[in-house]
Amino acid sequence: MARDDARAPVTGKTRLQAAWGSNTGDEVEDIGMAALPKTGEIFNQDYKPWTGTLNPRWMRNWAILRHHLFGVFRKGYRPWGMPTRIFLVIVFIASLTDAALTLLSGILGSPELHQLWGVNRNNLYGHNLGFFPRNILYYPIVTALLVGGVISEDRHHGTSALYFSRPISRFDYTAMKFISVALIQSLIILGSYILFYFSEIIAMGRGWAWIVDTFPIFVAGLIAGILLIFTYTSLGLAMSSISRGRFFPGIGLLAFLFGSKTIAAIISGLFERDILYLLSPYDCLAHVGQALVGTQLSYTQYSWTWSLVSLVLMNGAALYVLASRVSSMEVTRE
């Protein structure tokens, strides 16, 4: 038999036999098409509407806010990097140098040291808006680290699906992101500013008369600090909304702040024209802050109201870009 099979011609055909389990209906050898079901229903899936109660709007917004804010202090929330946390602590301690030196002058009883570091118009202005070291080493870099991936990572990783699949509006999403970044900056900038003011009261034993005289200046410096935080946050989040990574928003913010100031300073030195300072966020903030606090103006070729108008336009353009980009975010990864 093996010899005959070896001489058999190759036809390219074979016979396949399949072994099926018993009692499955495969004992029926011939089944017509009419016996097959017309629809291939695999399982019956019924959807039932959810009849529970949603959390209130403030609670949903608080969940977004605490996710970003508490991540600076503890685990289980937004994973801020350790270098970012260390830099925030360093900047906060460095921002308290005015308060520390004021306390030291009160302990030593040194009027010369108090004249340099005590509370006055120039020092209240310089604490929030001084160029060196605060607005060249501290506050812009803090903002750049904070806005790096606040919105861009949601766009890149598709985290927006977790937000917008819930009853969260895009306005609430943007507002909570904005407030989160602004609050972290406020803890450093405004927190150290308030401690500086009260360190004068404690160290020098100031009375109500001194508080009444200096409190309007303190409030004016507080408003200038709030304006700085709002401007830096709006510009940074606008750059974060058009990016998909952490690198570009921070570098773009620093390049815009320092580049615009550098170009304006070069033009002012060569041609004695200060008009380009209107394109520099820092110089506009400094001009408005000087007018609010009442210290000597560094910009004399135009009124401080022009700087205020420029700040309004900058913030308006940044908020428009931010709103338009967030409105275009999908609930899937882009």
- pLDDT tens for 180-198 read 999 999 999 999 999 999 9
Burial (CB count within 10 angstroms: exposed 0-12, middle 13-18, buried 19+), residue 140: buried
The residue type at 68: H
Tell which residue, 138, 146, 105, has the closest CA to residue 233: 146
Contact 105, 219 (CB under 8 A): no
pLDDT given for residue 161 in this prediction: 77
3-state DSSP of 125-150: HHHHHCCCCHHHHHHHHHHHHHHCCC
pLDDT given for residue 263 in this prediction: 95
**SS3 label, residue 278:** helix
> What pTM does this model have?
0.83
Contact 217, 294 (CB under 8 A): yes
Q: Looking at 163-264, which runs of residues are DSSP E strands?
A: none
pLDDT given for residue 15 in this prediction: 55
> What's the chain's Rg over C-alpha atoms?
33
3-state DSSP of 161-181: HHHHCCCCCHHHHHHHHHHHH
pLDDT given for residue 9 in this prediction: 60
Torsion of CA 241, 244, 247, 253, to 10 degrees: -20
Tokens found for residue 138: 């501290």
d(CA 68, CA 179): 10
Tokens 């609010």 -> residue: 292
Reported confidence tier of residue 44, pLDDT bands at 50, 70, 90? low
Q: Is the pLDDT of residue 49 over 90?
A: no
d(CA 297, CA 109): 32
Tokens found for residue 180: 């989160």
Reported confidence tier of residue 162, pLDDT bands at 50, 70, 90? confident
Reported confidence tier of residue 296, pLDDT bands at 50, 70, 90? very high
Please calculate the CA angle 116-122-128 and round it to the nearest 5 degrees.
105
